[in-house]
């Protein structure tokens, strides 16, 4: 699962690795080689992914830097808790995206090819804040995923099946 457009990185005081080490220290845990490798791998590119997609990209058992599936799943939860990643449900799967060092944003989701397109909208934020103020509501965040069909998929004609013509 990838993004056609990626957001500009924000300047942050700590690297993702340093931020995670700070998180672990606050919980009396230590950094391990597999966790360190996972942070490096995930933050090497800006992409949306699920655990299985990440595991597919990692070295296989017996290869250098191998990380077990159990460690991947456990580490992803820790990365979310540490504020490095966001997670959300999409088509029955947990999808992850980089959070630390990136601005808040929303998504367009193509239901055909499963592409996620990131976008930021000041008018949307103004509307959100205006509605929240009307209701005396303090906003701490939001997630918007607009579902539809992307330009590429809309341009390709789907072959009609006989059963669709009934």
* DSSP codes, 78-115: HHHHTTSEEEEEETTEEEEEE-TTS---EEEEETTT--
129 marked among binding-site residues: no
Alpha-carbon distance 77 to 7, whole Å? 23
46 marked among binding-site residues: no
Query: Does the pLDDT at position 98 exceed 80?
Result: yes
Look at 14-28, 62-76, 149-163 and tell me which has the smallest mean pLDDT. 149-163
Q: What percent of the chain has pLDDT over 90?
A: 78
Provide the mean pLDDT of the chain: 90
Q: How many Cβ atoms are within 10 Å of 74's Cβ, its own excluded? A: 13
48 marked among binding-site residues: no
Mean pLDDT of 30-58: 95
107 marked among binding-site residues: no
142 marked among binding-site residues: yes
Q: CATH: 1.10.10.10, 1.20.1250.20, 1.20.200.10, 3.40.50.620. Which one for 12-102? A: 1.10.10.10
Alpha-carbon distance 166 to 158, whole Å? 16
Contact 58, 41 (CB under 8 A): yes
What is the domain class of 103-166 according to CATH? alpha beta
Q: Would you kindly state where each structural domain of the chain is located, as residue ranges?
A: 12-102, 103-166
Label the pairing between strands 93-98 and 85-90.
Answer: antiparallel
50 marked among binding-site residues: no
Given this model, what pLDDT does residue 164 score?
55
Given this model, what pLDDT does residue 4 score?
38
Q: Which of 109, 118, 117, 49 lies closest to 79 in space, CA to CA?
A: 49
Query: Does the pLDDT at position 122 exceed 50?
Result: yes
Query: Does the pLDDT at position 107 exceed 90?
Result: yes
Alpha-carbon distance 145 to 100, whole Å? 20
Contact 91, 23 (CB under 8 A): no
Given this model, what pLDDT does residue 24 score?
97
């Amino acid at each position: 699962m990838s993004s056609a457009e990626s957001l500009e990185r924000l300047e942050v005081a700590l690297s993702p690795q340093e931020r995670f080490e700070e998180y672990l220290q606050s919980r009396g845990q230590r950094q391990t080689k597999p966790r360190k490798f996972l942070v490096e791998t995930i933050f090497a590119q800006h992409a949306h992914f699920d655990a299985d997609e990440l595991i597919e990209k990692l070295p296989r058992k017996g290869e250098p830097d191998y990380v077990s599936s159990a460690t991947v799943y456990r580490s992803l939860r820790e990365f979310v808790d540490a504020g490095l990643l966001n997670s959300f449900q999409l088509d029955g799967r947990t999808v992850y995206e980089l959070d630390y060092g990136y601005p808040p944003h929303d998504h367009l989701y193509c239901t055909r090819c499963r592409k996620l397109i990131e976008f930021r909208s000041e008018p949307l934020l103004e509307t959100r804040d205006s509605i929240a103020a009307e209701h005396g509501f303090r906003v701490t965040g939001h997630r918007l995923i607009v579902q539809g069909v992307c330009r590429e998929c809309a341009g390709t004609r789907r072959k009609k099946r006989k059963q669709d013509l009934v």
